[in-house]
Amino acid sequence: MTEQMRGLCGHLVDIDDKGRLRSRTESAVVWDESTGRIVDVLPQEQATQHYPQAIFQRLPHSAMILPGLVDTHIHYPQTRMVGTSAVELFAWLSGHIWPEEALLREPVFAEEVARVFVRQMLRQGTTSAVVFGSQFAYANAHLFDLALQLGMALCLGETLQDTDSPSGLLQEDAVLWKSVEQQIALWHNRDRLRYTLSPRFVPSCSRQMLDRCGAILREQPDLFVQSHVNETRMEVERTMQGVTDAPHPIGIFARYGLLTPRTVLAHSVYSNDDELRCLADHGAHVAHCPSSNAFLGSGVFPYRRHQQAGVHVGLATDVAAGVSFSMWREAGHAFLTQMRLAETERLPLDGEALLRAMTRDGARVMGMQDEMGWIGSGAWADLVVLHPRPHTYLGSLEHSAQAPLDQRLFRAMTVAEDEMIAATYIAGSLAFQRDPMPRWPWMDEI
């Protein structure tokens, strides 16, 4: 049905299936609006001939069309807390974060927070995410529902905690597990939604809670799991306090059957070689959150050791310890963080490696690598248009200093201006478009 076809024409940039940067200039990506999937990528001059009834939009030469970005770890109830200062994880959680998370008990407030959360992701070109939800199911229902309307890929579940936590975040056991069961039945595998068992971290979860998660997972092994591990030295210490049945924090997750190819553990700053082997053996993933690790003074992520051990790593903002919703900025932070390490220890990151981390690697963490994170037939039409405006600093650089593609991408990650994202498409539908700027004559001269 050609009348359902739409397309964007311009410079397509993504990572190919060999992991290399791919550039297709003067090309067209064509999708079927009824399915939200890409049906063709072809030279621009053939597009109208092959798809005469399709509606095409031509983008300027200076724009790039990229796959939607994947944020592999972010907290929905912390949407309003970016930039809330603290010196250490536990003080930050109890002083700022937990009181804010308790506010999502109020449904109207939770709904507003869900809207802001999604809007901020779309403004940065993020189309998919692994999300720590609220402790309250009805708050998560708002987010599940928004994601469903937009066609987003989202892994989401209640933040589970029952130990060393304020009473405002706790629910009776019977109520909590009944609600988890209902949420799984209601949302899991609906379009691109995946229910995710989300024990916050070991210091906040009793053994009974971890055991219950393991039991649910045995019954329904295709559920996702997320948690935090080896984030700060104090957190590692508290995690291992009195533990006799596991050699290390990762071993605790293994012991309760919570390490699977659908597990995403955030941070892993202090994982030893044994733990990395354990993660790799189970096919579990790690979400690397560089700005969060810097913000809380957690430590420097050993990216290279994870890669050498064969652990799959995705990039993540970890809002609100992370400093923004921008995966671009996060990519820049990943580079800066690695530069703190000795040359033999750091993973060299360039535009290609960082784009891979933001797209294909993230899609793999979500188990959706065959259908998103790249631009080609069969993939979802999750697309981002990167087009710095002429009046911005990045725009002026694009205009005056032509650079190789890898450099241009790297520069976008380093400068990371909010205004550089012109549009975001999810499953072929326009989900965000930057308002047109008023034009003044001097703008074109910069």
Bridge-based pairing state of the strands 429-433 and 421-426: antiparallel
**Letter string b/e over residues 253-277, b meaning 16 or more CB atoms within 10 A of that residue's CB:** bbbbbbbbebbbbbbbbbbeeebbe
- Return d(Cα 160, Cα 227) in angstroms, integer: 10
Binding part of the chain for Zn ion, among 38-46, 276-284, 311-319, 417-425 by CB under 5 A, reads 311-319
- Return d(Cα 26, Cα 32) in angstroms, integer: 20
Question: Which residue carries 């927070």 as its tokens?
Answer: 113
- Closest CB to Zn ion among residues 159, 424: 159
Minimal distance, residue 75 CB to Zn ion, in Å: 6
- Closest CB to Zn ion among residues 250, 375: 250
- Closest CB to Zn ion among residues 266, 421: 266
- Closest CB to Zn ion among residues 194, 411: 194
- Return d(Cα 296, Cα 301) in angstroms, integer: 13
Classify burial at 151, counting beta carbons within 10 Å of its beta carbon; exposed 0-12, middle 13-18, buried 19 or more: buried
Minimal distance, residue 78 CB to Zn ion, in Å: 8
- Closest CB to Zn ion among residues 59, 300: 300
Binding part of the chain for Zn ion, among 180-188, 201-209, 315-323, 431-439 by CB under 5 A, reads 315-323
Q: How far apart are the first and last CA of the chain?
A: 44
Number of neighbours of residue 60 by Cβ within 10 angstroms: 10
Minimal distance, residue 285 CB to Zn ion, in Å: 14
DSSP alpha helix (H) spans, 188-260 = 207-219, 233-240, 249-255
Minimal distance, residue 71 CB to Zn ion, in Å: 11
Minimal distance, residue 186 CB to Zn ion, in Å: 24
> CB-hemisphere CA count at 13 Å for 154?
30
Residue choice 162, 318, 361, 398 for contact with Zn ion (CB under 5 A): 318
Q: Does 330 bind Zn ion (CB under 5 A)?
A: no
Binding part of the chain for Zn ion, among 42-50, 219-227, 312-320, 418-426 by CB under 5 A, reads 312-320
**What is the size of the binding site for Zn ion (CB under 5 A)?**
2
Q: How far is CA 344 from CA 315, 339, 373, in A?
A: 22, 11, 30
- Closest CB to Zn ion among residues 180, 266: 266
- Closest CB to Zn ion among residues 226, 359: 226
Minimal distance, residue 316 CB to Zn ion, in Å: 8
- Return d(Cα 215, Cα 365) in angstroms, integer: 23
Residue nearest Zn ion, Cβ-based = 318
| Angle, in degrees to the nearest 10, between helices 405-415 and 351-358 | 60
Minimal distance, residue 336 CB to Zn ion, in Å: 20
Minimal distance, residue 4 CB to Zn ion, in Å: 40
Minimal distance, residue 334 CB to Zn ion, in Å: 16
Site for Zn ion in 257-296 (CB under 5 A): 266
- Closest CB to Zn ion among residues 266, 354: 266
Minimal distance, residue 187 CB to Zn ion, in Å: 21
Question: Residues 388, 394: contact at Cβ < 8 Å?
Answer: yes
Question: Residues 171, 216: contact at Cβ < 8 Å?
Answer: no
- Return d(Cα 180, Cα 208) in angstroms, integer: 15
Binding part of the chain for Zn ion, among 149-157, 186-194, 240-248, 316-324 by CB under 5 A, reads 316-324
- Closest CB to Zn ion among residues 158, 318: 318
- Return d(Cα 299, Cα 268) in angstroms, integer: 10
| Angle, in degrees to the nearest 10, between helices 137-150 and 107-123 | 40
- Closest CB to Zn ion among residues 358, 409: 358
Q: Which residues of this protein are in contact with Zn ion, per CB under 5 A? A: 266, 318
